[in-house]
A and B are shown apart, each in its own frame.
Chain A
Amino acid sequence: MLDIAVHITQLLLALGALGSVYRIYKGPSVLDRVISLDVMLIIVASMMIVDMVVNDHQDFILFVVITAVIGFLGAVAIARYVVVRSPEEVAAETSEQDPYPSPPVAPAIPGAAAENEPEAPHDPVSTPRMPGLEPEEDESTSWFSALARSGFTPRRHDAQSADAGAGIGPSAATSKDAGTDAAADPESEHTQDADTAARPDARPDASAAAQKQTQQERQEDRDV
């Protein structure tokens, strides 16, 4: 009778393990996989108990005790990891938007994920933004967000010189300033010549403005 019960139990345990394996494979979120792995651990311990019943020994009881003691650590660690480090894991529910105020909480982004697929790969452009709470910033990247918040836009050299030419205008003052220092430095004189050579085109083009800009910058560097 005990042999029949053992066979039935092993069959039932195997079916339970199959269900757990299916959920580990299919499970849409990592938390489903975590609880399925817990079930799998318990099923392995149960199979060891059945083996101890069949062969009448007590060799695996230590495994069962240790499993009972430290079996929850993996689930706790992974659950904390999910909360803190992946705020992109958002809701299957697109209509619900209730913000959570406490810091280690994923933001509520409606419509970021598909139904039943909370861990579908998101568009990296649509970064989730938490309403009412600034996201936690990494220290190594906080300088970049501070830079972006300050409104600074890095300009290329052409755009910068075009702005300088437009702002100063005919730039007689700058060329006059250049002329005062140009006698002291042959390199500056050369650029002055190039400037005047480009001048008869009589158009405020980018090249002349760029040369004036570079010359002015060079003089400022020299004054310093």
Chain B
Amino acid sequence: MFDSLDADLILDAVASVLLVLGGLMSLAAGVGLVRLPDLHSRMHAATKPQVLGLLSLLLAAAITWRSWEWVAIVLLAWGLQLLTAPVSAHVVGRSGYRTKHMRRDLLTHDELASAVERISRDIPPSRG
């Protein structure tokens, strides 16, 4: 269907779009880290380049390399990042909640507050 020149052109175009998308994710993380008011919203901004930005850049690299073997390795790297990013996000978010590095007035709904209150009240074991 395509001759070789058109295929190269299309693949370079896709890789270019993916590169700029990954860069935009990093820019969004930077702007979010500067602008957002408290820890948890900054965490929300910080996870953008960790997952989507890295996926975009790795796919762009694999496209420009033109080989399926590197696609497998790239997906391995992205899958490992996808596995380990929630671990740090969970631990940092939990310690941020416990040490109160957040602004409660910005929360619309605190789902953890009811659990914390239920535990911190000394409930008799009949209700427990």
| A residues lining the B interface (CB < 8 Å) | 1-2, 4-6, 8-13, 15-20, 22-23, 28-29, 31-32, 34-36, 38-39, 42-43, 45-46, 49-50, 52-53, 56, 58, 61, 64-65, 67-72, 75-76, 79-80, 82-83, 89-93, 96, 98-102, 105-106, 108, 118, 132
Contacts and interface: CB of A to CB of B under 8 A. Distances in A.
Interface of B: 9, 12-13, 15-17, 19-20, 22-24, 26-34, 39, 42-43, 46, 49-50, 53-54, 57-58, 60-61, 64-65, 70, 73-74, 76-78, 80-81, 84-85, 87-88, 91-92, 94-96, 98-105, 113, 116-117, 119-120
A15 B27 contact: yes
Contact of B78 (A22, A68, A72, A93): A68
Contacts of B50: 38-39, 42
10 contacts: A12-B23, A31-B92, A32-B39, A38-B88, A42-B26, A53-B60, A58-B70, A76-B87, A98-B116, A118-B99
A43 B65 contact: no
Q: Is the interface of B mostly helix, strand, loop or mixed?
A: helix
Contact of B99 (A15, A90, A102): A90
